[in-house]
Amino acid sequence: MEDRRPESTEENLGTIVSVRGSVIDVRFPDRLPARHSLLLTGEHHDVVIEVQGHLSWDMARGIALTPARGTAQGAVVLDTGRPLMTPVGRGCLGRMFNVFGKTIDGGKPPEDVEWTSVHCEPVPLSERATTSEVFLTGIKAIDVLMPLELGGKAGLFGGAGVGKTVLITELIHHMVGHHEGISIFCGIGERCREGEELYREMRDAGVLGNTIMVFGQMNEPPGARFRVGHAALTMAEYFRDRAKQDVLLLIDNIFRFIQAGSEVSGLMGQIPSRLGYQPTMATELAGLEERISNTRTGAITSIQAVYVPADDFTDPAAVHTFGHLSASIVLSRKKAGEGLYPAIDPLQSSSKMLSPLIVGERHYRTAQEVRRTLATYEELKDIIAMLGIEELSEEDRKAVYRARRLERFLTQPFFTTEHFTGMEGRAVGLADALQGCERILNDEFSDAPEKALYMIGRVDEARMT
């Protein structure tokens, strides 16, 4: 790790008084270090402690950000006089970092970077953009039915194997190619297997060059997992505020951030709140989420994977997370099983941006009609399974045929899966996507086979034979 000793020749030294797991109490006879300061101990200064609070005029309590093996009472502790810092700048692109800003991809340390504290204040309201603008992804299902907000936060819900990673890499590809922006992937509590697979997939898809990856792995102490989101956000803020670029910030998984905070809170001896969560959960989550915003010069748009404990949407972690989201994208295993990719469930997904005042009357009306048609089909599926489609009224049959064609039109070949599927990727503009939905709703393709609309871009690509 980087040497973070203070430039002053006077070293502020302390002595360890007690060690309880990751919680370490240190006495400083001369000068008490500030909250969030980093302390170093161990034979090679390889044990890093972050000050969490003050117990008295000469006693500080901290949480170890690295394994605390080898620490003991009486060991000497060095106050660096600095908070946790992370590298920012273009030299970080294409690299993978841990919470300390150290590269973990086997390459050399990055060049041409600056080191910045991970503890930053959110952008003041006076400097934020006050207009609501849609962040176009080039993915038909998202842009038509659940548009994302530029500078907003969207939740991505889905289990293993339903296409979360593929959707993430496609969004990164579109960000690089169409918005000329930067993508940052933040893995909070990731398994090392997941991080390594994602790194290889992004490299093979050709999107790694404009991407930064930051990981706090599952086997790391809770203090490190709790701070990795702040480190990734600090990198994103550099590109938004100083490079004047748009940034796509992908977080997997925001629940693990709350979980790490709960572990830190328990270690610090705080009395737990409802269902065992930390009493400061709302403040900690808001401190992270409120830094994600858009300004007049750039925007940080965030897509966050969200785990809902025991599928209980009244869980405090889920309730507080939903309060910050402007859109929800739900991936369905049933859709994936039917080969309908991206496997987005349009009836469970939603967006606050889908309002006629923001997207316009035509877009709103088309999206509502698509939802209504798909909902009708969902209601009729049981009848079709038991009695057959011939038993439906003519109007219901037409609605079913429309819905099945809409389902297939909302599939799309991705650029990042070309080498798997052999199908050329498509990015579809909002106007083309809306036109395709309108033409299907108007029964212009009632004579075309359903497969003609499967895995195409614009509706004009449909093969009518």
- The catalytic residues are 164, 190-191
- Cα–Cα dist 234/290, whole Å: 13
Q: What is the helix, strand, coil percentage profile of the chain, to 5? A: 40, 20, 40
CA angle 123, 129, 131 (to 5 degrees): 150
Name the phi and psi angles at 132, rounded to 5.
-90, 120
- Cα–Cα dist 354/449, whole Å: 31
CA-to-CA dists, residue 158 to 153, 163, 330, 428, angstroms: 16, 8, 6, 24
Which residues face 251 on adjacent strands?
A: 186, 304
- Cα–Cα dist 165/205, whole Å: 12
Q: Which residues contact 392 (CB under 8 A, 6 or more apart)?
A: 380, 383, 384, 400
CA-to-CA dists, residue 273 to 154, 223, 318, angstroms: 27, 20, 15
- Cα–Cα dist 290/317, whole Å: 16
Q: How far apart are the first and last CA of the chain?
A: 63
3 state DSSP class of 351: strand
Pairing of strands 114-117, 134-135: unpaired
